[in-house]
Structure 1
Amino acid sequence: MIRDSASSSAEDEPETTITVALGERSYPIVIGEDLISATGRWISATVPNARCAIVSDKTVAALHLAPLKASLDEAKLYLGEAIVTPGEASKSFPVLATLSERLLELGVERGDCVVAFGGGVVGDLAGFAASILRRGVRLVQIPTTLLAQVDSSVGGKTGIDMPQGKNLIGAFYQPALVLADTNVLDTLTPRDFRCGYAEVAKYGLLGDAEFFAWLEQDWSDIFTGLGGARRRAIETSCRAKGAVVAEDEREESGARALLNLGHTFGHALEAYAGYSDRLLHGEAIAIGMRLAFTFSFEQGLCPADDAARVKRHFEAVGLPTKIADLLGEIPTAEQLLRLMAQDKKVKGGKLVLILVRGVGAAFVEPDIDPARLTQFLEKECKGR
């Protein structure tokens, strides 16, 4: 169980450091303001003598690349940058090949760093490139979205998408350092911020009922950035994920699988939508978590009130909760089930779902009744 809601931000401290405890591969997550302009100092202290090649996308580069380059230049660490197109479509073999060629052209060596500077797409893509370049170079994650700061930058999952599903080609490859600069979140669109918030709420829903109750009360302060609410939410999320990763780095014991609450449904919806603006990742996961709670309730596992709380809260913050909220054509149950069958948690041809016994009480269900799931999705796809 994840429990860290009592840990609030030390507002008088410039930054907070959380350690992901993985023995020789342990690394710090640093959370605070104005960290980008101090990147050179942090990398010099964490990964001495490592020159840095930045991987970013066009949107982030236009907003934030200049201070990062200046910091690395000042520390005499800057090698150059590779800029990709924003969006999930960049998580592909062709973009990976082009990026790898660019990093080699910049002269990245085994002791150097790839700096993933962007949201989850950039982190996953650059992290996978770092894992295969010269059989592995160092990686620093500087996530620039809320979603990436609380989820994808922590834990070492890297990869690209395939037509059959999301993140089906990749590697576990831990970073040497994660720098979460909270200032950059002010440049996010409301839609992108909401997508990140879905992953924040996930930590409460799967293992920390007190944290979710706090989110229900104070979520608007996280969105506006008032007081220390935003930093507290990020710190609590990172501590929760770091603890799970330390316990089950490669999803072998089952503990880390809990972090996929809502993701089997959500990834199938993303694949159906073509990894496009029709449905962003956090929106898909919000729908997926609501589906997981409703399905759990209908199987007699979860109280009705808890399932209703999830739907009510996501609607309050402006996140979608129904398959019918997907822009454009709605999938059939058969289409979703075919996509869900590509989920990485499938074992022996059987679909594994993360279900719940209530808010803060997720568990792994390895034996889903296909008939019941089909019936449930048929109803949901019709919007009832």
Structure 2
Amino acid sequence: MRISTIDVTAESPYQVVVGHGALEFLPQYLADQRRVAVIHPPLLRDQAARLGASCECELLLIEVPNAEQAKTGATLQACWDALAGAGFTRSDAIVGLGGGATTDLAGFVAATWLRGVRYVSVPTTVLGMVDAAVGGKTGINLAAGKNLVGSFYEPYTVLCDLALLESLPEREMRSGMAEVVKAGFIADPAILSIIEDDPARALDPGGDEICALVKRAISVKAAVVGADLRERTSVGRDVGRELLNYGHTLGHAIERHEGFRWRHGEAISVGMTFVAELSRRLGRLDDDTAERHRRILAALKLPTSYPAKAWPQLREAMNLDKKTRGDGLRFVILEELGHGAILDNPDEGVLRNAFESLA
């Protein structure tokens, strides 16, 4: 059993446990809890039952819809009603089992039930492990945009059992790798080299490469979050937690435009390609690094293009991005590998032309 731990510095510090067999540690993190509710999607019903049975707690299974369809006010209300019906108190705990959307929802349920109960995150996808489960951001979507309602709430621990990836559909593996690639561009270029050496091996859920990539990507996020938990306002080259939003301004707009039928990583892949091209056109990023985005993402068979005719709708959707301030749109861009910056109020013509180059 190969296990590593990554410390996350926060108001309530916690550890991320990574490796094959990490789930074996769950009982010790719930040893003093009376009951546990496992929030899970339909496909993980049996896994949720086994998870609960491994702990000496009363078990409540709360099934929620798949993927982004779970992140709604109606589902949140249903979770609260289930906890109320079971009489859950502050001596009880919530476990989120599933992809990033499930853990986002479960974390928000834990943050809001009785103003906060113990929460353990068990991500089952690459995306969930390297992005959603670490950092304390929880929330749901609205029709107006993604993650517009939520809270900062740190988990008690995060258990990333890499064995769970072995049954993951290939499309989910590829989607999650977009966030891994992002970590490479914003902070750890070694990630990019591992992928470039053999993209197929990087996608092998049983290989050594995926273990190294997941650990590195989590370490990037843990370091950024630890330095700026609450995402203070970044200015110029002084970029805090907003650095993690690289590629997300356009990416979230694409997700909304697609009715959340696209995987998160697929949309972020286009978003990173766009913002790299935007940076290049503004003279802020060299040609090779901008083109490297396309090469690596395409090697992972992730999308790097989008129809030009969608620009008006996407541009409108970006106005509701969480990074937008009262004085206009803002982007996280790269000025060189591993060094981000904030771009405020870019020229509309340059924005449009950069997007049209992706068509």
TM range (shorter): over 0.9
1:49 pairs, out of 6, 28, 33, with 33
Is this contact kept in 2: 1:37–1:68, CA < 8 A? no
Could you tell me how far apart the structure 1 residues matched to 2:44 and 2:283 are?
45
2:88 aligns to what SS in structure 1? coil
Unaligned runs of 5+ in 1: 1-12, 325-329
Matched, 1:105 2:85: yes
Classify 1:230/1:111 alpha carbon distance in 2 versus 1 (closer, same or farther; 3 Å).
same
Quote the residue 1:18 is aligned against.
6
Could you tell me how far apart the structure 1 residues matched to 2:215 and 2:311 are?
38
Could you tell me how far apart the structure 2 residues matched to 1:189 and 1:267 are?
22
Quote the residue 1:9 is aligned against.
none
1:265 pairs, out of 244, 250, 266, with 250
Is this contact kept in 2: 1:87–1:121, CA < 8 A? yes
Q: What is the one-letter code of the residue matched to 1:236?
A: R
- What are the residue-to-residue correspondences of 1:1-384 with 2, within 5 Å? 14-23=2-11, 25-44=12-31, 48-49=32-33, 51-62=35-46, 64-72=47-55, 76-225=56-205, 227-254=207-234, 255-276=240-261, 279-324=262-307, 331-377=309-355, 379-380=356-357, 383=359
Classify 1:313/1:164 alpha carbon distance in 2 versus 1 (closer, same or farther; 3 Å).
same
* Residue 253 of structure 1: how far off its partner (Å): 4.9
* Residue 137 of structure 1: how far off its partner (Å): 1.2
Is this contact kept in 2: 1:205–1:360, CA < 8 A? yes
Q: What is the one-letter code of the residue matched to 2:111?
A: S
* Residue 304 of structure 1: how far off its partner (Å): 1.1
Could you tell me how far apart the structure 1 residues matched to 2:61 and 2:36 are?
9
Q: Which gives a bigger RCO, structure 1 or 2 (Cα 8 Å, sep 6+)?
A: 1
Q: What is the one-letter code of the residue matched to 1:199?
A: E
Quote the residue 1:3 is aligned against.
none
Return the TM-score normalized by structure 1.
0.88
RMSD: 1.7
* Residue 227 of structure 1: how far off its partner (Å): 4.5
Return the TM-score normalized by structure 2.
0.94
* Residue 49 of structure 1: how far off its partner (Å): 3.2
Per-residue Cα deviation, 1:262-296 (whole angstroms, up to 9, x for no partner): 000100000001112xx111100011001111111
Classify 1:98/1:49 alpha carbon distance in 2 versus 1 (closer, same or farther; 3 Å).
closer
Could you tell me how far apart the structure 2 residues matched to 1:184 and 1:302 are?
38
Could you tell me how far apart the structure 2 residues matched to 1:224 and 1:87 are?
22
Aligned residues with identical type, % of pairs: 34
Quote the residue 1:7 is aligned against.
none
Is this contact kept in 1: 2:274–2:354, CA < 8 A? no
1:224 aligns to what SS in structure 2? coil
Could you tell me how far apart the structure 2 residues matched to 1:42 and 1:110 are?
15
Unaligned runs of 5+ in 2: 235-239
> Which 4+ stretches in 1 moved above 4 angstroms?
none
Could you tell me how far apart the structure 1 residues matched to 2:58 and 2:357 are?
51
